[in-house]
């Protein structure tokens, strides 16, 4: 029977490649087997149709596609405006007292905890990063912002755990899904354990990012500086009208309250816009994302990391990458260790939003905003290079995930202990304990 299922395969390598492709194709086909493992992948098209943000438009075909892409461009423009509003509002509200207002977060562990909590609640590291970048543009001290950006990496992985919980009805599926979800947790925790102390004691990432930020904000005299300066000028030009109107309305309210209102408006706009961008790009590109993931399977760690970064950059949502890998692992078609590089790449891809947001900053704080965005990018990039290139380190996240998944399969209480402890209780205790002791 197996020979009939693989016509034209003559070598072991060809057989393995055929089997890999065949497994992917089988995901969309219903199975008569008693084991429901092969049915967890679902149909993305159905879900995306139900969640169509532009479903109210009487358009179809090419006209609908053009409208969808145009809406993404407008949403990115609104994102840039929102970051500008946060920067202006924070500057109006805090003035020269930004450092004083955030004195409670001068302890880096408090900043780290705030980043974890904010992202766990918002369920989007892109949102947290964009807000922090906007606050940097408004005068937030870099030493306060950097730990928050580190924390954003940890908080974002709650999403994958929630995806795995949706498969808790089948023990085999759940164990595989939960190990895939939590390998992201263990990887991010390992990266934090390595780079957070390094940054605290040496300021390595901040120094390198600061040296690069001048070129990205057009502060130098070279060709590259001129290119980025032109980009910054263009962003300023397209955002000035809306941000200017918002600033005028805030000034009518007056003083601190006007600044607070403008900051809140910017935060709300970011929450709405990033969610919209994620949904639209997922609808437009999820098929292409699956194709990239499929083509990269079996081609090695580097291919997986690059593919994960490309997918996440394209759809502007690490949750999309997770939603592709967790069901695949749950189905048993692909091992968690083979899919692991994709979530590592997702960490890199998700930093692009912060870089885009940083271009909306102008004036003396533009360099600080870009420095923060670059710190986040370099943290995730250097972590991927270091951890994935050293076999001992690379093996730790999968082992931790398999251990936790085995416990969670026996008793779901471990899931709630893990999620509640890592993402909420420990960060809250860190904030209260640190402020009490120091």
Cβ of 236: how many Cβ atoms within 10 Å? 18
Is 233 inside a domain boundary? yes
Cα–Cα distance measured from residue 231 to residue 215, given in angstroms and rounded to the nearest whole number: 12
In-domain check, residue 334: yes
In a domain? residue 376: yes
Which residues, other chains included, contact 98 with Cβ-Cβ below 8 Å and sequence gap of 6+?
Answer: 90, 91, 138, 139, 140, 141
The yes-or-no verdict on residue 286 having pLDDT over 70 is no
Q: Are 102 and 140 in contact (CB under 8 A)?
A: yes
Q: How far is CA 123 from CA 133, 269, 276, in A?
A: 17, 16, 14
Residue 53 belongs to some domain of the structure: no
Whether 351 is in a domain gets the answer: yes
Render pLDDT for 231-247 as a digit per residue (tens, 0 to 9). 667 777 887 788 888 88
Question: What is the helix (H) or strand (E) element at residue 436, kind and residue range?
Answer: helix 426-437
Percent of the chain exceeding pLDDT 70 equals 76
Query: What is the tens place of the pLDDT at every residue in 58-67?
Result: 878 888 888 8
pLDDT interval class at 165 (50, 70, 90): confident
| pLDDT band per the 50, 70, 90 thresholds, residue 51 | low
pLDDT at 416 over 80: yes
413/353 Cα distance (integer angstroms): 35
Of the two residues 383 and 225, the one the predictor is more confident about is 383
What is the reported pLDDT for 134? 85
* Domain boundaries, position 296: 61-436
Q: CA separation (Å) from 268 to 131, 138, 281?
A: 10, 17, 20
More confident residue, 396 or 10: 396
Within a domain: 292: yes
pLDDT for 35 equals 44
157 pLDDT higher than 60: yes
pLDDT band at 41; cut points 50, 70, 90:
very low
Handedness of CA 125, 359, 306, 198 (dihedral sign): negative
In tens, the pLDDT along 85-126 reads 887 887 787 666 655 556 666 788 888 988 888 888 877 788
- Selection from 186, 203, 192, 232 nearest residue 356 by Cα: 232
* Average pLDDT of the chain to the nearest whole number: 78
What is the average pLDDT across 186-206? 94
Model confidence band, residue 5 (pLDDT cutoffs 50, 70, 90): very low
Is 1 within the bounds of a domain?
Answer: no
DSSP string of 36-50? GGGGTT--HHHHHHH
Q: Note whether residue 48 is domain-resident.
A: no
Model confidence over 324-381: pLDDT tens digits?
A: 788 888 888 788 998 999 999 989 998 888 888 887 776 667 888 889 999 999 999 9
Residue that is written with structure tokens 């300021």 in the block = 203
Distance CA 78, CA 82 (A): 6
Q: How many domains does the chain have?
A: 1
CA 177 to chain centre: 19
């Amino acid at each position: 029977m197996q020979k009939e299922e693989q016509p034209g395969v003559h070598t072991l390598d060809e057989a393995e490649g055929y089997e890999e492709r065949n497994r992917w194709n089988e995901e969309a086909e219903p199975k008569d087997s008693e084991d429901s493992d092969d049915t967890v992948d679902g149909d993305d098209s159905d879900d995306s149709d139900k969640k169509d943000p532009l479903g109210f438009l009487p358009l179809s075909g090419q006209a609908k596609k053009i409208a969808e892409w145009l809406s993404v461009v407008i949403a990115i423009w609104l994102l840039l405006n929102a970051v500008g509003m946060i920067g202006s509002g924070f500057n109006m509200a805090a003035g020269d007292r930004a450092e004083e207002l955030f004195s409670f977060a001068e302890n880096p562990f408090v900043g780290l905890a705030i980043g974890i909590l904010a992202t766990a609640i918002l369920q989007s590291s892109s949102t947290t990063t964009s807000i922090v970048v906007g606050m940097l543009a408004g005068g937030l001290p870099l030493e306060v912002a950097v730990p928050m950006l580190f924390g954003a990496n940890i908080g974002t992985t709650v999403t994958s755990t929630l995806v795995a919980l949706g498969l808790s009805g089948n023990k085999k599926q759940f164990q595989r899904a939960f190990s895939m979800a939590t390998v992201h947790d263990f990887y991010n925790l390992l990266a934090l354990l390595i780079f957070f102390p390094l940054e605290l004691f040496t300021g390595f990432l901040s120094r390198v990012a600061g040296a690069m930020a001048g070129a990205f904000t057009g502060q130098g005299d070279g060709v590259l500086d001129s290119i980025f300066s032109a980009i910054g000028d263009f962003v300023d030009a397209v955002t000035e009208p809306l941000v200017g109107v918002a600033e005028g309305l805030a000034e009518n309210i007056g003083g601190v309250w006007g600044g607070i209102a403008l900051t809140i408006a910017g935060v709300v706009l970011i929450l709405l816009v990033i969610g919209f961008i994620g949904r639209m790009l997922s609808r437009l590109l999820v098929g292409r994302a699956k194709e990239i993931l499929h083509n990269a399977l079996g081609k090695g760690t580097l291919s997986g990391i690059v593919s994960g970064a490309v997918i996440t950059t394209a759809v502007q949502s690490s949750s999309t990458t997770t939603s592709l890998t967790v069901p695949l692992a749950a189905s048993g078609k692909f091992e968690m260790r083979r899919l692991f590089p994709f979530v590592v790449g997702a960490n890199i891809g998700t930093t692009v939003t912060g870089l885009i947001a940083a271009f909306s900053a102008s004036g003396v704080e533009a360099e600080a905003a870009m420095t923060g965005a670059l710190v986040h990018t370099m943290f995730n990039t250097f972590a991927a290079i270091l951890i994935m290139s050293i076999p001992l380190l690379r093996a730790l996240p999968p082992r931790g995930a398999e251990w936790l998944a085995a416990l969670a399969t026996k008793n779901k209480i471990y899931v709630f202990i893990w999620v509640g402890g890592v993402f909420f209780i420990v960060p809250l205790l860190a904030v209260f304990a640190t402020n009490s002791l120091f």
